[in-house]
Structure formats: structure tokens, C-alpha cells
Copies of this chain bind each other. A is one copy, B any other.
Amino acid sequence: MSLEEFKELDAATLPVGKLISIIARGHNIYLNHNLKDLDINATQLHLLFEISCQSNINQENIASRCNINKGAVARSIKKLEEKELIVREIDSENRRQNKVSLTDKGQETLNESINIFNKWEMEIFSENDLIERETLQKVLKEIAIKTMELNQGDNR
């Protein structure tokens, strides 16, 4: 659908799930475009973010947390290591596993990436007087929790 066609649609006819998926795709395009200068892609950023949340995380946990398959995680981890954004060391408690943590350069890249997230948020709220940012965050968090619960339960 073109942007002009989309603008003409009555919001009340658009399923929330459809709108969310349109935004997610657009946000991903925005991220990948703006991450070019930082020389990483959206998947690699996602991994940096997870690694920063739990230092010394092992590679298997990253895969399960990010919902990405182990092969893809291994490839991205290798790329991030080559770029010197992370370091790997053997987990002394489980020698078949690698523990992964951010380097200073990795932390810097992550901080700059967060600026890109913030820039997008500033843009989308710049002309939006329908809702406060904090309210939207609360609403979306509730929806995310409910969706995860539906996917875990028997009622999905």
C-alpha cells in the first residue's frame, strides 16, 4: 500500500496487530539505515543490547533470549567480535560455553545506537498530541505482556 493510500484509510478499520507490524517493519528499516554509520545492523544491535543487560551472558542464553537460532547468533557474535565490540572468554563453570561481554567500544556503539532510538521517538512524538509518551509506553508494555501470556498459555 502506498503512503498516500494508507493516509486515506479510516484508523478504526485498521487492526491493531496490522498497525504494529507496519511500524515494526518501518522502524527496522529506519534502524538499519541509521546504523550504517556505526557499521552494525539491527540484529547485531539487538545482541549488543542483550549482552549489556546481563554481563558475562553465555552464547546459548543469548540465542534463547533473542529468539534467534543458535547459528545466526554464532555468526553475529563472530562479526561483533571482529569489530571489537565484544569479547568472548571460555566459561570456567562450563568449558563448552563462551561467556560474552561488551568492550568499551561496544558500550560506546550501544550508547550511540540508543540515540538513534531516541531520535525516532522524538520524531514520532513531535507532532503527536493524542497521547503522552509515558502512557504509550505503559500501554505497549501491557500489550506485550498479554501477548506473551497468550503465547504461553493453553488459550492461544
Partner-B contacts on A (CB < 8 A):
1, 3, 6-7, 9, 11-12, 14-31, 33-34, 49-50, 53, 65, 67, 114, 117-118, 120-121, 123-124, 127-128, 130-131, 133-152, 156
What residues of chain B lie closer than 8 Å to A3, measured between beta carbons? 145, 148-149, 152
Interface of chain A, helix or strand or loop or mixed?
helix
- In the complex the two chains form, is A21's CB within 8 Å of B24's CB? yes
What residues of chain B lie closer than 8 Å to A145, measured between beta carbons? 3, 6-7
What residues of chain B lie closer than 8 Å to A146, measured between beta carbons? 123-124, 127-128
Number of identical monomers bound together in the oligomeric complex: 2
Given the contacts A33-B156, A137-B11, A144-B6, A120 and B17 also touching, CB distance less than 8 Å: yes
- In the complex the two chains form, is A143's CB within 8 Å of B23's CB? yes
**In the complex, which of the residues B22, B130, B142, B151 contacts A144, with contact meaning CB atoms closer than 8 Å?**
B22
